[in-house]
């Protein structure tokens, strides 16, 4: 079987700038791919099989399996395949884990069966499954708008992008639906200073029902006073930009318990190939 790295993404900022008539919120957000992520193995087999190390997402609703079904609908290829998914990106973390897995499966199947879809075609296919999927067919850094599915290449120097990030995880994820419902209940779309780094319009709505995340952000701001801290996507991961004075395996104690975290770097991919990550730390 071929093994592929399936990267996490983070949002350098996220602004909610409107709401479409069909219910989706319109956003503006630059995303970057990271050296932290999952591992997806795909290969031809005698019968279909799917294995995942996280039981709660191992059913037919998994986006990796939906990507397989979509690929078959578009191509007519019915050859049985085995997909093995080793999850490291926490569920409900705001880092696009499921979307990354789906994009990786689409890329892998396109290669294995020599279909010849372009990245743009694969991105268009993936948009039917999830708004974040098209981003992963960029080269690893892009400005995303619409529902997040309209992907524009960032011009060089247009946004300051840190090269190293601290990802602080949480044992409880936050669903995108809950985050946007909380936003709709009390908040209005942004119209000014839209390109403010480390500004996430979903933070206050999420913090309204997850006060523990609000306290954790304050702790990180005090610990890394020289760095910007922001929630990624709809939560629940908090991201510290360019953290200093932190070595691998250094304990971060918050409210009496050690935090789970990973140190990661921004990565890009070459046209025609997929993302690569030789190593990353996971605490």
| Phi and psi angles of residue 103, each rounded to the nearest 5 degrees, phi first | -65, -40
- Please name the helix (run of DSSP H) or strand (run of DSSP E) that holds residue 82, with its range, or none: strand 81-86
Q: Where are the beta strands (DSSP E) in 93-191?
A: 141-146, 150-153, 164-168
Tell me which of 9, 66, 216, 217 is the catalytic residue. 9
Tell me which of 38, 87, 132, 217 is the catalytic residue. 132
Is residue 247 a contact partner of residue 281, using CB atoms and an 8 Å limit? no
Residue 72 in 3-state DSSP? helix
Omega before 236 cis (within 30°)?
yes
CB-based burial label for 84 (10 Å; 0-12, 13-18, 19+): middle
Centre a 10 Å sphere on the Cβ of residue 142 and count the other Cβ atoms it contains: 22
Contacts of 34 (CB under 8 A, 6+ apart): 7, 8, 9, 10, 95, 165, 167, 264, 265, 266, 267
Using alpha carbons, select from 23, 29, 15 the residue that is nearest to residue 96: 29
| Phi and psi angles of residue 46, each rounded to the nearest 5 degrees, phi first | -80, -20
Clarify whether 132 is annotated catalytic.
yes
Pick left, alpha or beta for residue 193 (phi over 0 → left; psi -120 to 50 → alpha; otherwise beta).
Answer: left
As a whole number of angstroms, the distance between CA 234 and CA 147 comes to 13
As a whole number of angstroms, the distance between CA 9 and CA 6 comes to 10
Is residue 123 a contact partner of residue 275, using CB atoms and an 8 Å limit? no
Q: Which residues are catalytic?
A: 9, 132
């Amino acid at each position: 079987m071929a093994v592929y790295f399936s990267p996490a993404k983070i949002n350098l900022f996220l602004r909610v700038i409107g709401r479409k008539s069909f219910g989706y919120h319109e956003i503006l957000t630059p995303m970057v791919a990271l050296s932290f992520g999952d591992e997806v193995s795909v290969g031809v087999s005698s019968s279909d099989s799917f294995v995942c190390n996280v039981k709660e997402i191992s059913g037919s609703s998994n986006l990796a399996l939906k990507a397989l079904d979509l690929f078959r609908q578009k191509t007519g290829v019915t050859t049985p395949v085995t997909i093995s998914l080793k999850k490291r990106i926490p569920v409900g973390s705001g880092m696009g884990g499921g979307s990354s897995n789906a994009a990786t499966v689409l890329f892998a199947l396109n290669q294995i069966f020599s279909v010849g879809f372009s990245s743009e075609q694969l991105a268009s296919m993936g948009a039917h499954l999830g708004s974040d999927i098209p981003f992963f067919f960029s080269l690893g850094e892009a400005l995303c708008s619409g529902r997040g599915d309209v992907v524009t290449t960032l011009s060089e120097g247009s946004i300051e992008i840190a090269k190293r990030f601290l990802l602080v995880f949480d044992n409880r994820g936050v669903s995108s639906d809950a985050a946007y419902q909380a936003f709709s209940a009390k908040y209005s779309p942004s119209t000014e200073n839209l390109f403010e780094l480390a500004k996430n319009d979903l933070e206050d709505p999420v913090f309204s029902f997850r006060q523990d995340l609000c306290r954790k952000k304050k702790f990180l701001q005090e610990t890394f006073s020289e760095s910007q801290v922001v929630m990624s996507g709809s939560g629940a991961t908090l991201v510290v930009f360019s953290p200093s004075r932190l070595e691998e395996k250094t304990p971060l104690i918050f409210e009496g318990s050690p935090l789970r975290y990973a140190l990661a770097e921004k990565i890009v991919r070459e046209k025609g190939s997929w993302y690569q990550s030789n190593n990353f730390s996971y605490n």
